[in-house]
Structure 1
């Protein structure tokens, strides 16, 4: 050591302090990189009480405590020059203090972030603000503690500090951390995920660290206690470690950015596929979303393959009707999931490596244009996808909710364009049409909007207990104004369309079955050809599309005299009924009072359904059950009946006169009538599904060859049978439907004995009561009821009974064609003569 240094800087002296400007700037950049990494990790964390959430919060604490604070401190202290820069009197640090100063801030920040992450989502404002204050204080205290603990680790100086500077530095650290984390959690709670907002939070966090550091440095003096002996490069060791950690944080930021871009590409690609999503609402009407503001969803397949060019997958499609009914009775199909999984693997539609986990990447895009069983394959994909989403939500398939009544279109922002016609009105055309058609006027008559993706949505409403369970899994409930932008971008649809669709989903989740429990009703059954001339539509109330427009005629069932009075109006139009009632002489008899009530109910029906066609519709005196077969044991749950005015609208009169009415496909209305709770069609439908899908595994060798080798699944199939057996007989699940139903299921013939060999075996078990006469009894031959037990009858399963819509359609056809009335069921002829 040079003796001049000892002379110039004796022990106990205070060397002059100077700074290297570019290192000061570099220290702020280091702190900013650590803070930005912390914010990005916080932004992508998963809330909840699981270990994954704890690990992610721990990563945030390490990033902030080790990079943003510790690295910044030693890079900043490297900018301090004592004296004239002699190596012997510069700052050198103890390795013990250095290690402790790196660990303690990480622990303190971890506790603060854990408290904020756990309690900030609570409903009480006091709890949220208290958690935020604790987080800010812990972060500010960690910054202050690390600075002074690291400084006191110097080996050759005694620090002299100004307590006013200590208070000011701590205030800066706590205040800036409070502002930073307050902004972050506030914006995060509103799902404002713009990157510039996260940059603002990171800048405030870096300002908290840097501001505290240099404020404290301004109030610190160094009193020389000894001279460093050894190479001077040791003072750069902490600097090198800090720069390495900073570079690692940069790599993490780039990785997070790459994952974000990849996720956006996946969302954009998913918007062009057939996707199944779950719309779960809490008691306050908030929607369940992930941390990124997206609904739980999964790809079913990349595209639904139509059989013909004009075939469209919508609410009138028979496959959609099958999905709609299955979602209302998951119990009837849950045992088939392993069987469906095996069939999908054997046909190559799903590729797996080691576990049966199905994601959008594992869905095969096999061309099924020539596959006659693709309808069954798509239905299998739907059920398996719903099961996988249920597993991700840690619930059963039976609790997944019911399918929404429409197929939503996604990906419309990818290919739509807007132009203005001669009247200045904005029109939307499909990009394909607009770019290939020279005459733009060709699209003005019927402007169209092509969507590249389709979204099926399962809806349900949960109570507070279930909502808390889902939040513990890492999901959150949010209002649409909070997550609208993110959700609209992920679905590639306009924000206004999204809000409208979510409103419909919310209303659908609150809808109860509109089946009256008792009474006699007067209804209107108005049908019209669909605009595409591919089926019939029926007019229904917009709020309750699973029933017809109806008014209550009587609270009880009508007596025979009232039935005879209504029979006199059979075959008359509504106007003729009103005219005939008006021509009667008014008396105070019960008949006239009933007819007056009948006329008032007709006027009420006209008010609820103000359609001109209803005035010309024909009255049917046939008394029909509103819900067919809705029983519990031997007790009828819904004895409500109805009489209807039946009419057919002209095709050129598509618009409705009331906003409370809408039209839905008649086939979908029939599916609604077979899906209400307690309907006996559930058991028959489940029976047919078991026969159909268990046979698909047996004939899997005749299907497509798998695209890649698929290892055997660990899921056993209890319903699988030997491939040597012939497939069971299959019949359409709705025999009364038209030919549009054709191809939904395999209609290959087989023997009844093979069908009976199925696990369900189509065995109908009935309980019988035998009535016998005990002539030897002392009671003089009185009848005695005896229960002789249960008798089993083995037979082919019953077919589904005609629905209310089927019966009304037969009545309407009978009025239009008198010869068709001969083909009506016997129970429909009553009152028509």
Structure 2
């Protein structure tokens, strides 16, 4: 029953006095701040684009902002309004219908605004479109705050609201302006990858001010006229308050989970900086780097650590595994169909665990002669499977993933810490100086990580496609801090690295034009006699320092003149040319041209060792294994061959550098159109594939059939081709038609292969079977599928260099190859 004193004290139509509870006002601001911060965090972790996942995440942001930051703040704030002397009968009570509508409507409005900003601001649109999208987002945000407030207040069952229109417009303007500033700052910082935690807190504060400021500005211009009394229990006032507090606690839980996930990602990035990682460096036409929403390059762990048997066994450009990856990345089609087989083998062998996404583990290797080969095969399989996984995340094929960068990059250098200082002078012992030795595994591992990078440059269409997937292109100055922290390397080193990656992605194939060239082939032993390096230009390491001697091929007279210099060092060649030019002759023009070319070569390669390099009159073909050009158009080269002293490791020119000789050979075998691509693909199929069976002419005996045991774990077999084959046991049956030689090369799973030597095949029937004897006819022709790779230009020059250094070896005659 209604107390008569209430009717007498507060008659219908009267306006009771208004007072506020200060601590509840502060609590309402905290509720708004929690909802706003949750919204900003969800926006920060959203996926841009038009996929369903992006829509779901934007809907979550709309729910967080519309339901928690606005709706909960409104009803918690209204709980701070005390009418009259606080009697329960005259306090504000709300209609459930209006309350439900006021909860749904702001979510819908803010969803539209966030969708417009996310769709149009992040794309490569004009400034007018971007600012218009921010305007729509700010307008929708302000409208959501304003309409929720007045719609919720109109749901009061016992009051008629009297509004001051100046306060209404002022509150709406404050809400729209604050939302425009906050969302504008967020999307601007997010576009430039400056959206760190402190900037997101600033955005959340602006949003909280937008909601709370609008609410209390509107409340200051609102009077309440009694039109009825509440006769029920006063506890009904707390229903909306309890619901708001529950939603607020849920938002706090979401923030806690997001923080936990962030910390876990940071730990993973630190761990990844100590692992072997495959990263993708993709550049758009403006030279900007492809990064994820968090400002990181797409990357994935290959394995926890590349195991080394000795201190000298370093995973670098001279390692056979790196050179294999380098060549495979330039002909992905030769390995792409083996990915399912590799994945199955890794799962069977325990190197790849299926339940955990992206987790790679290694099994223990027995310390025997086959363990190195087994781990090498497993690591190569892990690389291919990892590359395939990254290609799927980028929604592209493996062939479009890019080429491997020409170096193994070191990460985790900032993880080193000073371990101790003591009575050892001023030296600080770093963690990187201490190696950890695993006695049971028989291996030595180090604390720093390594990164392999696949690079490419995409056009505008591909750049837009990647942006629609949720990635973005950023300048290095925008993401350098975050990216350097994730890789645990200094920022200056990162900027230098990205510059080198961009230059590598734009490097064009340095194929020499038609003509005759003069080159320097200078090799140098590595310290500790760990192999040989070769001096190459820094800008084009796939070719030797060279200058053009003649735009056309040399005639027989000119070739004969050069043969007189065979075996002489460069200074002796210049002296002999000077002597011959002293007497007038018809050869003076060519000799002068030869002398000028030698001086140009000295400018190209200003090494003191070149003066002692020996001239070879052998005219060598520079187009290793490439059949696109005819013999008349193929460039040839004459070389000065020499060996530099081991104790002088520095170079005289900054335009030169040294690379391992084996890596230079890998460069030559990786050129487009080279037949070695198909030969390597054939070897890969023989090693990894248990599904691609080669058809044979006769049925193999049961004891010679292939087993299902992974090939990578079998004993390593010789890959060289014997000069005689046994017909009934040959694993290459079906590759060559013995009945009739085909007119064109046969197409196989690994492609057709060209060889440059014809074999005369004689088949003799014996009791043991058909033996095929091959004789070299010395001419070029197409004979089917080759088994071994030809010698590269580097191999031939190294052979010439060795022959010059051997006093007992006969010097090769000057002829044209």
Q: TM-score, length-normalised on structure 2?
A: 0.87
Moved more, 366-375 or 177-186: 366-375
Query: How far apart are the structure 2 equivalents of 1:821 and 1:673?
Result: 28
The 3 A distance-change label for structure 1 pair 679 and 496 is same
CA 1:637–1:405 in 2, change beyond 3 Å: closer, same or farther? farther
C-alpha deviations, 1:175-220, integer Å up to 9, x for none? 1111111211122122124212111111111011000100010011
Q: Is the 8 A contact 1:277 1:457 kept in 2?
A: yes
Helix, strand or coil for the counterpart of 1:583?
A: helix
Give the match for residue 499 of structure 2.
Answer: 503
- Relative to structure 1, the CA distance from residue 531 to residue 72 in structure 2 (aligned partners, 3 Å threshold; closer, same or farther) is same
Given that 1:307 and 1:369 are in contact with CA atoms closer than 8 Å, whether structure 2 keeps it comes out as no
Match of 1:538, SS? strand
Task: Identify the residue that residue 303 of structure 2 maps to in structure 1.
Answer: 301
| Counterpart Cα distance in 2 of 1:618 and 1:744 | 43
Q: Secondary structure at the match of 1:360?
A: coil
Equivalent residues in 2 for 1:360-371, closer than 5 Å: 360-364=358-362, 366-367=364-365, 370=368, 371=371
Q: Summarize the Cα distance change of 1:568–1:801 in structure 2 as closer, same or farther, 3 Å threshold.
A: same
| Residue 16 (structure 1) shift | 0.5
1:655 aligned to which of 645, 650, 653: 650
Q: Does 1:830 align with 2:815?
A: yes
Q: Is the 8 A contact 1:430 1:450 kept in 2?
A: no
Q: Using a 3 Å threshold, how does the CA distance of structure 1 residues 385 and 433 change in structure 2: closer, same or farther?
A: closer
Tell me what 2:40 maps to: 39
Q: CA deviation at 1:746?
A: 4.1
Q: Is the 8 A contact 1:631 1:638 kept in 2?
A: no
**Aligned-partner Cα distance in 1 for 2:304–2:172:** 56
**Mapped partners of 1:724, 1:205: distance in 2:** 76
**Structure-1 residue corresponding to 2:794:** 805
SS of 1:815's equivalent?
Answer: helix
Shift of residue 754, structure 1, vs aligned partner: 7.8
The answer (yes or no) to whether the contact 1:418–1:427 under 8 Å persists in 2 is: no
Distance 1:637 1:11 in 2: 109
Is the 2:419–2:431 contact (alpha carbons within 8 Å) kept by the matching residues of 1?
Answer: no
Instruction: Give the Cα separation in 2 of the matches to 1:37 and 1:752.
Output: 73
Task: Find the counterpart in structure 1 of residue 231 from structure 2.
Answer: 229
* Gaps in structure 1 of 5+ consecutive residues: 437-448, 698-716, 733-742, 770-791
Which residue of structure 2 lines up, in the alignment, with residue 706 of structure 1? Answer: none
For 2:358 and 2:366, locate their aligned partners in 1 and report how far apart those are by CA, in whole Å.
18
Greater displacement, 718-727 / 313-322: 718-727
How far, CA to CA, are the matches of 1:235 and 1:760 in structure 2?
87
CA distance in 1, matches of 2:805, 2:684: 37
Residues matched between the structures, number: 754
1:115 aligned partner: 116
CA distance in 2, matches of 1:298, 1:159: 60
Query: 1:105 and 1:157, CA in 2 relative to 1: closer, same or farther beyond 3 A?
Result: same
CA distance in 2, matches of 1:380, 1:346: 13
Contact 2:145 2:214 in 1 (8 A): yes
> Retained in 1: the 8 A contact 2:431–2:447?
no
C-alpha contact (below 8 Å) 1:524/1:614 kept by paired residues? yes
Q: Which residue of structure 2 lines up, in the alignment, with residue 319 of structure 1?
A: 321
Give the equivalent residue in structure 2 for 1:486: 482
**Are 1:266 and 2:268 an aligned pair?**
yes
Contact 2:278 2:453 in 1 (8 A): yes
| 1:272-319 superposed Cα distances (whole Å, 9 cap, x missing partner) | 111111111111111111111111111111111223332111000011
Structure 2: gaps spanning 5 or more residues: 437-444, 746-780
**Secondary structure at 2:223 match in 1:** strand
Query: In the superposition, relative to structure 1, how do residues 369 and 452 fare at CA in structure 2: closer, same or farther (>3 Å)?
Result: farther
Distance (whole Å) between structure 1 residues aligned to residue 474 and residue 332 of structure 2: 28
Partner of 2:804: 815
The equivalent residue for 1:468 is 464
Shift of 1:590: 5.4
SS in 2 for 1:460: strand
Q: Deviations over 1:210-258 (max 9, x none)?
A: 0010001001111111111211111111111100000000000000011
Per-residue deviation at 1:450? 6.4
Aligned residue number for residue 240 of structure 2: 238
Question: What CA distance in whole angstroms lies between the structure 1 residues aligned with 2:246 and 2:799?
Answer: 81
SS in 2 for 1:361: coil
Contact 1:586 1:592 in 2 (8 A): no
**Is the CA contact 1:30–1:68 (under 8 Å) kept in the aligned structure 2?**
yes
Cα 1:635–1:433 change in 2 (3 A) is closer
Shift of 1:719: 4.8
Q: Distance in 2 between matches of 1:215 and 1:34?
A: 20
**CA distance 1:590–1:234, change in 2 (3 Å):** farther
Residues 28, 74 of structure 2: 8 Å contact kept: yes
The one of 209, 212, 220 equivalent to 1:210 is: 212
Deviation at 1:414, TM superposition (A): 1.1
Cα distance between partner residues in 1 of 2:675 and 2:220: 83
- Tell me, in whole angstroms, the C-alpha distance in 2 between the residues paired with 1:566 and 1:141: 87
Distance 1:637 1:557 in 2: 8
Is the CA contact 2:419–2:430 (under 8 Å) kept in the aligned structure 1? Answer: no
Question: 1: CA distance between counterparts of 2:195 and 2:286?
Answer: 24
The CA distance in 1 between the partners of 2:476 and 2:632, in whole Å, is: 39
CA RMSD of aligned residues (A): 3.1
TM-score, normalised to structure 1, is 0.85
Q: Give 1:573 shift.
A: 1.2
Distance 1:612 1:148, change over 3 A: same
Change (3 A) 1:748 1:282: closer
- Report the Cα offset of residue 496 of structure 1: 1.3
Q: Partners of 1:223 and 1:527 in 2: how far apart?
A: 97
Which residue of the partner structure matches residue 159 of structure 1? 161
